């Protein structure tokens, strides 16, 4: 019985399990690589390739290659078209998951079924739901969706006896995530999280591409616009730029051959023309530290570097310069997230309360005997010292409500701020606006602002509901309570009530972008029809 941790990355994915010695181990793919590019290439006749082979197709058939799909998770307005078929972000992610699960299964000689999949800490509810559905569409039993920095901290620090405050600086291929975590007594608490899910190593690649285009066009007189319009040339350059960037982590300069020219780039030039990107990660880091400070964090024991892009020497150097008193350590940049997820999954399996029925659905396919065996033999203190890992999380978005305020105008007012520890409950004591009101509109929003009053443009609507009917003849200001509850998985539920009359309304949060059951079935059928 194995439980797998899957780091479903923007640019690379990785799968790991905990071996019989209690150590987390990455399973290489069929191409003997420890990470697989999260790239999918469609071919005529329903064949798809995933990974390096798909990436190579960028050169020859870029229109049928889909990459960085993670940036589209939870969005309804995105579909990828290939050979007259539409694919949702869940379906594309499912294809990637299928490939890495299949390869790992073949390498180990057993089916990959029970998994924990990771996502950035600031993924909202819809993105998490989409990640889970991608796992289901790939035929996997998704035990949990775990935050990437928490997984990294598990693989790094859970054995630490001393309490520690750790900042996880995670710069991957397509996301930047900074998370402040407290580790103590096998409990991992996320104190604050921030970052930018549209920034990552890809942006550094693009800077190289722009530089190469500019220099090569200067040399051969070709127009920059015509190069950008040439998909094949651009596909070729994308690969070369990433390669050059990786080489610059080892060498002082590289030469890129492109469009008949050779462009030389030194590491210091590279550092210079990408410094705005690096600086923006430092700004985001300070913003998150400020949030943590408000919650009592006044010192850091270490900064953990996670994500492939932290291999760029500029990252380590800049962080040491900015935070001279905090040790900066590498945390197995490519593998720690998958390994931590596997460790968490196994720990979950060892300690969760499973009944027989769970084996058909949400729980791991594990027998009571296996569970006892796990507790006896597995890491995190063996035998009587074995302990469950407790994970405490925060919400990554603010929850707000529309109110008529003292200026007699409607405003959206934040009620629960991001980085509030969950589970949590909050009661808003409000009142009717006018006499004789028989209904009260309840509009709830999600946003990432840190202000109390938020512009509607920055908000995503979660609920558009109504409490009523209220008894006739109520005066203005009749008491209306809105109770917000967020559970440990970040799921929000809202009740509005007028206590004197007993009028209560439970309001469902509408995940507008989530696939319905029927839609998920369609995606499963599509994915299953492909030869991966």
- Binding residues for ligand AMP, rule: CB under 6 A, are 9-12, 35, 172-173, 200-202, 242, 245-246, 249, 307-309, 311-312, 334
Q: Which is nearer to ligand AMP, 146 or 496 (CB)?
A: 146
Task: Provide the token pair at 289.
Answer: 């530290």
At closest approach, how far in Å is the CB of 170 from ligand AMP?
7
Q: Do you find a cis peptide bond into 469, omega within 30 degrees of 0?
A: yes
CB-based burial label for 384 (10 Å; 0-12, 13-18, 19+): exposed
Q: Which is nearer to ligand AMP, 291 or 334 (CB)?
A: 334
5 Cβ contact partners less than 8 Å away, ≥ 6 residues apart? 15, 16, 17, 24, 115, 116, 118, 146, 151, 337, 338, 339, 340, 341, 342, 343, 344, 345
C-alpha count within 13 angstroms, C-beta hemisphere, residue 279: 6
20-23, Cβ contacts within 8 angstroms, sequence gap of 24 or more: 22/377, 22/378, 22/379, 23/379
At closest approach, how far in Å is the CB of 11 from ligand AMP?
4
At closest approach, how far in Å is the CB of 10 from ligand AMP?
6
CB-based burial label for 55 (10 Å; 0-12, 13-18, 19+): buried
Q: Which is nearer to ligand AMP, 246 or 505 (CB)?
A: 246
At closest approach, how far in Å is the CB of 1 from ligand AMP?
28
At closest approach, how far in Å is the CB of 115 from ligand AMP?
18
Provide the b/e sequence for 154-166 (b: ≥16 CB within 10 Å).
Answer: bbbbbeeeeebbb
Q: Which is nearer to ligand AMP, 196 or 334 (CB)?
A: 334
- Among 153, 424, 449, 453, smallest CA distance to 303 is for 153
At closest approach, how far in Å is the CB of 330 from ligand AMP?
12
Q: Which is nearer to ligand AMP, 173 or 364 (CB)?
A: 173
Q: Which is nearer to ligand AMP, 9 or 135 (CB)?
A: 9
Strands (E), 79-140: 80-82, 85-87, 114-119
Q: Which is nearer to ligand AMP, 196 or 242 (CB)?
A: 242
Task: Provide the token pair at 307.
Answer: 């994500």
Q: Which is nearer to ligand AMP, 96 or 412 (CB)?
A: 96
Phi, then psi, of 28 in degrees rounded to 5: -70, 155
Phi, then psi, of 223 in degrees rounded to 5: -80, 140
In angstroms, the CA 10 to CA 37 distance is: 9
The DSSP bridge partners found for residue 463 are: 444
Q: Which is nearer to ligand AMP, 59 or 493 (CB)?
A: 59
Task: Provide the token pair at 81.
Answer: 């078209």
> What length is written for the chain?
532
Residue 385 near residue 379 (C-beta atoms within 8 A) = no
At closest approach, how far in Å is the CB of 169 from ligand AMP?
12
Q: Which is nearer to ligand AMP, 64 or 309 (CB)?
A: 309
State the DSSP code for 358.
G
At closest approach, how far in Å is the CB of 327 from ligand AMP?
21
Query: Which pairing describes strands 4-8 and 12-18: parallel, antiparallel, or unpaired?
Result: antiparallel
The DSSP-derived string for 476-523 is TT-EEEEEEEE-TT--EEEEEEEGGGTEEEEE----TTSPPHHHHHHH
In angstroms, the CA 113 to CA 359 distance is: 12
Which parts of 386-431 fold into alpha helices (H)?
none
Q: Which is nearer to ligand AMP, 37 or 363 (CB)?
A: 37
At closest approach, how far in Å is the CB of 168 from ligand AMP?
12
Q: Which is nearer to ligand AMP, 189 or 202 (CB)?
A: 202
Q: Which is nearer to ligand AMP, 35 or 49 (CB)?
A: 35
528 Cβ contact partners less than 8 Å away, ≥ 6 residues apart? none
The DSSP-derived string for 171-200 is E-SS-EEEEEEEEETTEEEEEEEEEETT-S
Residue 445 near residue 461 (C-beta atoms within 8 A) = yes
Q: Which is nearer to ligand AMP, 129 or 334 (CB)?
A: 334
161 Cβ contact partners less than 8 Å away, ≥ 6 residues apart? none
């Amino acid at each position: 019985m194995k439980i797998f941790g899957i780091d479903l990355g923007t640019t690379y994915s990785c799968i790991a399990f905990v071996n019989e010695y209690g150590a987390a181990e990455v399973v290489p793919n069929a191409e003997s690589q420890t990470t697989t590019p999260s790239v999918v290439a469609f071919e005529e006749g329903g064949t798809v390739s995933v990974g390096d082979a798909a990436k190579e197709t960028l050169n020859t058939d870029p229109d049928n290659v889909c990459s960085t799909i993670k940036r589209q998770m939870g969005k309804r307005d995105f579909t990828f078209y290939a050979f007259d078929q539409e694919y949702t972000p869940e379906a594309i992610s499912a294809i990637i998951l299928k490939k890495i699960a299949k390869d790992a299964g073949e390498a180990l000689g057993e089916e990959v079924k029970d998994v924990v999949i990771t996502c950035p800490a600031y993924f909202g509810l819809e993105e998490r739901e989409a990640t889970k559905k991608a796992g289901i569409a790939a035929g996997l039993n998704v035990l949990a969706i775990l935050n990437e920095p928490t997984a990294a901290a598990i693989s790094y620090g859970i054995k630490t006896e001393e309490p520690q405050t750790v900042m996880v600086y995670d710069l991957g291929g397509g996301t930047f995530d900074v998370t402040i975590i407290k580790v103590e007594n096998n409990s991992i608490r996320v104190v604050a999280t921030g970052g930018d899910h549209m920034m990552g190593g890809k942006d550094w690649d693009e800077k190289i591409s722009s530089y190469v285009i500019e220099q090569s066009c200067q040399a051969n007189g070709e127009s920059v616009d015509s190069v950008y319009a040439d998909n094949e040339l651009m596909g070729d350059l994308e690969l070369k730029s990433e390669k050059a960037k990786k080489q610059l982590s080892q060498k002082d300069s590289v030469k890129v051959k492109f469009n008949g020219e050779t462009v030389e780039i030194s590491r210091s030039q590279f550092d210079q023309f990408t410094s705005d990107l690096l600086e923006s990660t430092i700004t985001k880091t300070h913003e998150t530290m400020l949030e943590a400070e408000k919650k009592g964090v006044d010192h850091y024991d270490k900064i953990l570097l996670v994500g492939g892009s932290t291999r760029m020497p500029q990252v380590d150097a800049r962080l040491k310069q900015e935070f001279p008193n905090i040790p900066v350590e590498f945390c197995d940049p490519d593998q720690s997230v998958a390994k931590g997820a596997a460790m968490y999954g196994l720990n979950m399996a060892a300690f969760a309360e499973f009944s027989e029925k769970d084996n058909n659905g949400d729980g791991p396919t594990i027998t009571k005997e296996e569970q006892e065996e796990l507790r006896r033999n597995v890491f995190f203190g063996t035998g009587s010292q074995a302990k469950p890992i407790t994970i405490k999380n925060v919400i990554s978005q603010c929850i707000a409500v529309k109110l008529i305020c003292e200026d007699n105008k409607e405003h959206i007012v934040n009620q629960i701020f991001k980085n509030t520890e969950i589970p949590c409950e909050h009661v808003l004591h409000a009142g009717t606006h006018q006499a004789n009101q028989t209904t009260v509109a309840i509009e709830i929003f999600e946003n990432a602002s840190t202000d109390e009053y938020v512009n509607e443009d920055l908000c995503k609507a979660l609920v558009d509901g109504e409490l009523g009917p209220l008894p006739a003849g109520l005066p203005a200001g009749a008491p209306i309570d809105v109770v917000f509850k967020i559970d440990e998985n970040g799921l929000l539920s809202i009740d509005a009530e007028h206590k004197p009359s007993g009028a209560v309304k439970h309001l469902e949060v509408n995940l507008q972008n989530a696939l319905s059951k029927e839609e998920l079935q369609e995606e499963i059928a599509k994915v299953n029809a492909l030869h991966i």
